[in-house]
Amino acid sequence: MTEQDEILVELRKDFVLDTNDDILSEKEILQQLSFIVSTLLQQNPEAFFQIMYRLDIPEQKLTDALTTNGDVVEKVSRLIYDRQLQKVRSRKNTSKPSSDDPELKW
């Protein structure tokens, strides 16, 4: 499974992404996230902040994205995407101990 596939799996836990297949580019994922973020901010800000908390988006980064000039929705979407990418890479880098290691056998 590629990183993009793993990111999609993670994002689908919190967002309904409009896909017919599992092959989406980073740009397509960000476009869909932007639409969802925009809708949440306008219609249900409480749900938006709950999702940001659940995704473990750093509060300071979120505050900066929401209060600085520029496209807020695009910045928040990028934060979400980058956080999910970070989680995927972290899981890959955290190796499980081998059961063949005699030091680990009881």
User: Which pLDDT band holds residue 25 (cuts at 50, 70, 90)?
Assistant: confident
Exposure letters 62-91 (e unless 16+ CB within 10 A, then b):
beebeeeeeebbbbbbbbbbebbbeebeee
pTM of the entire structure?
Answer: 0.80
Range in 7-11, 32-36, 79-83 with the lowest mean pLDDT: 7-11
39-90 tens-digit pLDDT: 999 999 999 999 999 999 999 999 999 998 889 999 999 999 999 999 989 9
Identify the residue with better confidence: 37 or 14: 37
Alpha-helical runs (H) found in 12-102:
26-43, 45-55, 59-67, 72-93
CA 83 – CA 55 distance, rounded (Å): 8
Q: Which letter does DSSP use for residue 14 in this model?
A: T
